[in-house]
Amino acid sequence: MSDNLAPTFNGFRTLAQAQVISLSGPDSVAFAQAQFANDVLSLADGHWQWSAWLTAKGRVLSIFQLVRVDAGNLLLVCHDGGAEAMAEQLRRFVFRRKVVISHSLDKSVNGALHAPVCAQGAALAALEDGTIELDVGSTTLPRSLHIGAPADVANAEEELAWRQSDLRLGLPRLVDAQREQWTPQQLGLDRLSAYSVKKGCYPGQEIVARTHFLGKAKRSLALLECTGTVNAGDGVQQAGSTVGSIASAAGTLALAVLPLELPEGDLQVGEAGTRIIPLLDGLAR
């Protein structure tokens, strides 16, 4: 098995699945604070954070970047698509708040496997042509994201390279069948600083806080490298027993939810031999 990424690419590519939701209006921040798992009130203008939208039972519906352009304008970068459906669901909770929620069809999300020119860490950069630049990498694996006009569309190999870089950095990429299956702790979202246990109420907050403060998390995320292609939902076996499940996959790389106290021994996913390899740090914002 190799530690190499899928074939890399030069320059920016429009990522096929990534979509943008816009929240605009004077109550945008208050609305986001009440709905999403991270602390939007503590986020400064011109900065972004990882966040998640959870069910009332504390299961992850969506993982996204929440970009606070200013106090009246937020962007959600949804890397696994589903923006229109999510926007429609969010509108049900607006009630009397002054916030407009829309799927921003005019904004493309373009990724590049190199360091950003101006953005750094959680601070975004507004470029001269109106593009928003984000730093979505680390010193080990530098990456940039542009929100704006489309670039050349990524081909299948380039999409795989980007998706595998997400997994190496511990960012789960959820297909529809994996939504509502996992808690934030099981998906390792603490590594991304993607949820808060100190802010006020939000859907699923009680379960997230209880798991955190009572130390009840028994499973978490591990990066697997396999000898063959695996798929989300596949079981992970050890000594003939299923010990975990694949939450997110990209070719021969996968993020699996496994017991924190996993005995030593060979792992298998279907017919593919499997080993645990280190996750890369540096994506927390």
Tell me how far CA of residue 203 lies from CA of 17, 58, 76, 121, 139, in angstroms.
Answer: 26, 7, 17, 28, 34
CB 88 within 8 A of CB 80: no
CA distance 216 to 196: 17
CB 203 within 8 A of CB 38: no
Q: What is the mean pLDDT of residues 120-139?
A: 97
CB 165 within 8 A of CB 5: yes
- Per-residue pLDDT tens digits for 168-224: 999 999 999 999 999 999 999 999 999 999 998 999 999 999 988 887 778 899 999
CA distance 252 to 93: 40
Who's near 220: CB < 8 A, 6+ residues apart? 185, 186, 188, 257, 258, 260
Tell me how far CA of residue 1 lies from CA of 64, 143, 253, in angstroms.
Answer: 31, 24, 10
CB 264 within 8 A of CB 251: no
Q: What is the mean pLDDT of residues 26-41?
A: 98
pLDDT score of 212: 84
Strands 152-153 and 13-14: parallel
Q: What is the mean pLDDT of residues 147-168?
A: 96
Q: Is the pLDDT confidence value at 255 over 90?
A: yes
pLDDT score of 214: 84
CA distance 100 to 27: 9
Q: What is the mean pLDDT of residues 28-38?
A: 98
The secondary structure of residue 106, as a DSSP letter, is T
Supply the pTM of this predicted model: 0.94
CA distance 147 to 130: 9
Residue among 53, 254, 233, 21 at smallest CA distance from 147: 21
Q: Is the pLDDT confidence value at 105 over 70?
A: yes
Q: Is the pLDDT confidence value at 8 over 90?
A: no
pLDDT score of 149: 96
pLDDT score of 60: 98
State the maximum Cα–Cα separation within the chain, in Å, rounded to a whole number: 58
CB 154 within 8 A of CB 16: yes
Query: Domains of the chain, with CATH numbers?
Result: 13-176 (3.30.1360.120)
Chain-centroid distance, C-alpha 123? 18
